[in-house]
Amino acid sequence: MEMELSPDQELFAKTTRRFLESQDLPADARRLHEQGGGFDHDYWRRGAELGWTAMLVPEALGGGSISGHGVLDLTLVAEEMGRLIAPGPLLATNVVIEALSCGGAGEHEKLIGRLLSGEATATWAFDEGGDRWDAAGVRLTARSEGEGWLLDGTAAFVLDAPSADVFLVSARTAGGLTQFLVPATAAGVTVSPRTSLDLVRQIGDVTFTGATASAVVGAVDQAADEVERQLRTAIVLQNAETAGALERVFAMTLAYSRDRVAFGRPIGSYQAIKHRFASLKMALEACQATAGASARAVAEDLPNAAELVAVAKSFIADQAPAMVQDCVQIHGGIGVTWEHDLHLYLRRVTQNAMLFGGVRQHRERLAAQAGM
C-alpha cells in the first residue's frame, strides 16, 4: 500500500511473497479445510523467523521493525497474505503482542518470547457479537477475588480462537476496562468453534465462567484507550489484507478477460467489460489509498488516526465484496465453481467486511466524531 518502499521494506515484502508462494497457496486452503485446521504450525514458526511477529516488539526483547514504524511493516505482510489467502494468526497474535509490549513488557517477557518465536499464538477476546466492536461495547466482566481476578461472559467471533494458546481478554471492572491474560487451558474457559466463511480462518466463541486470569495487562480500570488502539491496529492489518486480495483478484480477472474468447474476440475487448474494469480499477486504487493513509496515521499516532481508520474500514468493507462479486460475474460460469480460487477471495473479503465492525458501525463512528 505504501507508494514508496525503502530497499529494506522491498526486500522484506519480496521475501515474504517468495515464502508464501512456496507454500502452494491458495490451493492449500482446500487441504487445510478438509483437515479441519487453520494453519500448519511449522509454517507459522517459519513466518515468525522472517519477522512476522517481531515488528511491534521492542528491540530489548528481541524484536524490532524495518522502517521504524512496525505497523507499516506489518501491513506489507498482511497485504502479501491477502494476495494468496494465506492462513495464520498474523492479525490476532500481533494485536496481543502490541498490547503486551505497551502494558509492562518486562512483566510479560516470557510470553512475548514464545509469541515472537512462533512457539505460541494468541488472540484478543473482547466482543459479544453485537453491533459494537469498540471499548463501549465490551460486556465481559471481571471481579477481584483475593489476589487474583475471575472473568465471566462470552466473547464472540474471536479470530483463531480454536488454535490460540492464550487469550487477551478485555473486561469491565469496577472502575472501567481492564485487560487480562487467560490461558486457553485454564479452568472455566470453553472454546466453541463456529463455522467460518473463510476456509482457512478459524473463528469461535470463548466463554469464561469464573475463569482465573494469569496476569493483568496494563493498569486496572484504565484500558479503554488501549482497547481502541488495539482496534485501530487490527483494522489497519485487516484492510491491508483485503487490499492485497483485491489487487490479486483484479489481476486474475484482467488476465482471464484477455484469454477468454466470445464471438471471436477476447471478452476484455468489449466496451461494456472495459467500463467495468475502469470502475474496478478506480475502486481498487481508492481502497489502497484509504488503507495506506489510515496505516500511516496509526503508525505515526496522528490526531486523526481514529477518523481515517473509520473512513478506510467503512469504505473498504462496502466496496470489497461487491468488487469480487463483479469479478466472479466477469469470469462467468467458471467463477462460481469450487475448483476456481475466486470464491476463496470472496470468502476472505466478505468476512473481513464484518469483523471488527461493519460499514454501519464505522459510519456511525465517523458521524459521532463529526458531532452529528
Q: Which CATH number belongs to the domain containing residue 129 in this structure?
A: 2.40.110.10
In a domain, 1, yes or no: no
Q: Kindly report the average pLDDT of the chain as a whole number.
A: 93
Q: State whether the Cα torsion 350-352-358-359 is positive or negative.
A: negative
- Check whether residue 234 and residue 305 sit in a common domain: yes
In a domain, 307, yes or no: yes
- Check whether residue 107 and residue 153 sit in a common domain: no
Q: What pLDDT score was predicted for residue 34? A: 84
Model-level pTM? 0.95
- Check whether residue 163 and residue 140 sit in a common domain: yes
Task: Give the range of the structural domain holding residue 214, as residue numbers without chain letter.
Answer: 122-222
- Check whether residue 233 and residue 333 sit in a common domain: yes
pLDDT band for position 134 (50/70/90)?
A: confident
Q: What pLDDT, in 10s, does the model give residues 173-189?
A: 999 999 999 999 999 99
**pLDDT value at 345 more than 90:** yes
Q: What is the number of structural domains in the chain?
A: 3
In a domain, 2, yes or no: no
Q: What is the DSSP letter of 327?
A: H
In a domain, 360, yes or no: yes
- Check whether residue 17 and residue 81 sit in a common domain: yes
Q: What pLDDT score was predicted for residue 127? A: 84
In a domain, 19, yes or no: yes
pLDDT above 90: percentage of residues in the chain: 84
- Check whether residue 248 and residue 217 sit in a common domain: no
- Check whether residue 277 and residue 361 sit in a common domain: yes
Q: What pLDDT score was predicted for residue 31? A: 85
Cell digits of residue 346: 470472496
pLDDT band for position 157 (50/70/90)?
A: very high
Burial of 22 from C-beta contacts in 10 A (0-12 / 13-18 / 19+): exposed
Q: What pLDDT, in 10s, does the model give residues 83-115?
A: 999 999 999 999 999 999 886 656 799 999 999
Cell digits of residue 322: 461487491
Q: What pLDDT, in 10s, does the model give residues 206-237?
A: 999 999 999 999 999 999 999 999 999 999 99
In a domain, 29, yes or no: yes
- Which of 131-140, 273-282, 319-328 has the lowest average pLDDT? 131-140
Where a domain ends, among 194, 222, 250?
222
pLDDT above 70: percentage of residues in the chain: 98
- Check whether residue 158 and residue 263 sit in a common domain: no
pLDDT band for position 38 (50/70/90)?
A: confident
Asked if residue 329 lies in contact with residue 362, where contact means CB atoms within 8 angstroms, the answer is no
Q: Where are the beta strands (DSSP E) in the chain?
A: 122-125, 141-145, 148-159, 166-173, 176-183, 189-193, 203-212, 215-217, 261-262, 265-266
Give the CATH number of the domain where residue 261 resides. 1.20.140.10
Q: Based on DSSP, count helices (H) and strands (E) in the chain, helices before strands.
A: 11, 10
Where a domain ends, among 195, 222, 249?
222
> What is the rounded average pLDDT of the residues 31-35?
84
pLDDT band for position 32 (50/70/90)?
A: confident
Q: What pLDDT score was predicted for residue 103? A: 61
In a domain, 330, yes or no: yes
- Check whether residue 280 and residue 172 sit in a common domain: no
Give the CATH number of the domain where residue 43 resides. 1.10.540.10
- Check whether residue 138 and residue 180 sit in a common domain: yes
In whole angstroms, what is the distance from residue 196 CA to residue 15 CA? 29
pLDDT band for position 25 (50/70/90)?
A: confident
- Check whether residue 201 and residue 283 sit in a common domain: no
Which of residues 129 and 16 earns the better pLDDT score? 16
- Check whether residue 242 and residue 303 sit in a common domain: yes
* Helix or strand run (H / E) with residue 347: helix 342-354
Where a domain ends, among 222, 252, 284?
222
